[in-house]
Structure 1
Amino acid sequence: MYKLRMFNMKWQLLNYFLISSLLTVSSIFIVLEYYSRELASWEFRMWFLIAILAVCLTVGYIATKRWQRKVDELHVAMLELSKGNFSSRVELEPVEPFMYLYDAFNKMAASVEERVQLLQKLGEAEAIRDQELTENAVMEERRRLARDLHDTVSQELFAIHMSASSLPKILERNPDAAGTVMDQLIQMSHHAQKQMRGLISQLRPIELNDRSLQEALEKWFPEYCRNHELQGQLDVSLRDPISEAIEHQFFLIIQEGLANVVKHASAKGVRLAIYEREHQYVLQLQDDGQGFERKDISSASHGLSTMRERAQKLGGDVEIDSKLGSGTRVRVRIPRFTGQTGIVTKEREGEGHE
């Protein structure tokens, strides 16, 4: 079929060439046969050559104009397709050497239009699904906050209320014991305030769009530690920029990990380190709290499983080391591909962060 099409196109070109050749040969024959005497004049020869040249140019112009028009039609259709007009088609003529090109273009345009429509439908479905996931995430976060409020602040406030309610009777019956109750009230109110600050800090939005992960942590981490009376140490060592997805997941993991430290660890200090190796990004969060047994890791906190799920979304994993009385260390490893930044980095020397 391809040879037949090319054969038709070549024959059409040969036809134009044959017409031009016949006209030229016929003109020369006529001149030699009937105007042989006039050939002695240079003026006659000059006008004869001009006439032959004009005839050949006319035939060539007609041929190229017709072919140029066909090429222009295809070009215009391609421009329309590139501008997003996927319904653009080229009209086919029954006898046309360009017909196979037009037919191939029309089929390609129809295929592109069909695929774009499919992608649009998939995009709409994904947008709806993302909206549903977001709504589910919001509902889950509301449940978590309600649970945290009930387990922490609500119980503290109830204990304060009970102690404050019993204070008048204690003053009436045993004034000396009132001082102890007052100290308990002050301690419980301070603890409740600390718990409330923690919940508020979790709700406060942290923008990463206009800043890097390191810049956000340098502002947020000290404030978080100060609000929760922790001695914080931050060490971020990243030579190359990392993707927004990894930054976002790292930040959520850090928030979850620090929330666990505040709720369960009873720690005085915490150290956060983020660094890179040749094939890994590493996040390490270590506290000096009370720790827990390895067998209780799965049930120690819902946040630990959440951190593991976030890391696994990026192809990474979470390692948790903890002992009673020796604190807890959470280490997150995310694969690092040099193609993400376009720069091949050398392997970090030593294990100074380990």
Structure 2
Amino acid sequence: MMVRLFRNSKWEMILLFTASSTLSVLIWTIGCRMADSKVGSSDLWIGIAALFIIVSAGIGYWAAQRTQRQIDVLYLGLKQATHGNYAARLPEQGARTFMAVYQEFNDMVEALDQRMQVIQHTGEEQVMREAASNEAAVLEERKRLARDLHDTVSQQLFAIHMSASSLPKLLEINQERAASVMEQLISMSSLAQKQMRGFIAQLRPLELEGKSLQEALDKWFPDYCRQNGLQGVLEWRIKEKLSEAKEHQLFLIIQEAMANIVKHAGAQTALLTVAETERQIIMTLQDNGAGFRADQVKRGSYGLSTMRERANKLGGDASIISKPGSGTRVRVTLPNYMNKGAES
């Protein structure tokens, strides 16, 4: 492509300089004849020289501007493609020197566009296959959680009930002993509450069952923020319905990112935004926590590897931007083809 571009540019520049030189020589010749007819007219010679320079500079400026505009169009197309907009096409009409380059660029992004649709379609099918194959594991996990609940929280609640039942009698008989039982009740209830939160955290992915991602987040996000002392703001800017695979992966990514805020950030606020462009679904999560330097975090930690892996399954990507004292920003992008891949 570049060889053809340089070859075409070479011949165009040769033609332009030839035309410029020819016109300049013509002006100079006519000017010389006029000056010869008026011997001693120095002002005329100055005017001829000035005209010669102006014409040459004008043609050079016009040629440079023309080439620069075509380069700018190519640069903007490359920039859009770099940011995932594979629908970008360069106008081939009137490109002349750059026509071959524009054609090859358009063919390239068309091929990338088709490949990305295939990747997204294949990724969504894989996610759903994995979800189906995990049903048995989910049922087994539920049984385990039921056993754990019986062995921990259920017994804690029974002990609390027995202690609370004896408390009125103890208050009448021995207030000092009653105060000790009260402290035990507070300790046991606090432990039971922590254990229950742990089990709820393990069951949170079930929040999405039977609901859209927006409906699940409307309930789960403010509850999670409230339970963990965060002031949360949710902004939903998507009009089209998302595929089930996208909703599943985004929900798990958001859970991972929120868990990181609670564990590591020491933040007071969390802003979650889910938006769309013509070609992308974009999820951002910003907190006002302590932040960190990139060299302070081990490779693959802070959940980035897990989030990126989930996004990659659908042809997307995930990134984390943070700075000490300035909080952390998680950004996830997924290609958005209005579910064309799933329909085909």
TM-score range (shorter-chain normalised) is 0.3 to 0.5
TM-score by length of 2: 0.43
Q: Bigger radius of gyration, 1 or 2?
A: 1
